[in-house]
Amino acid sequence: MNVQNIQNAQNRKRFIFLTEHAAIKSTNFRREFIYEA
């Protein structure tokens, strides 16, 4: 693998991690918001 492919793979992993983390945070927020209502 060349450097570009390695960087693309790392960026993809980071992007997936961030999107999953954001989804978890948003679902937790929604759950808390519903409980508060």
Residue 1 has pLDDT above 70, yes or no: no
Of 17, 9, 12, give the one whose Cα is nearest residue 1.
9
Task: Indicate the pLDDT class of residue 34, thresholds 50, 70 and 90.
Answer: low
Total domains, the chain: 1
Global confidence as pTM: 0.50
Q: In this structure, what are the phi and psi dihedrals at residue 2, rounded to the nearest 5 degrees? A: -90, 175
Angle ∠(19,17,4) on CA atoms, nearest 5 = 110
The tokens of 13 are what?
Answer: 């992993």
Contacts of 24 (CB under 8 A, 6+ apart): none
pLDDT per residue over 19-33, tens digit each?
A: 888 888 888 877 777
Q: Which domain holds residue 13?
A: 1-37
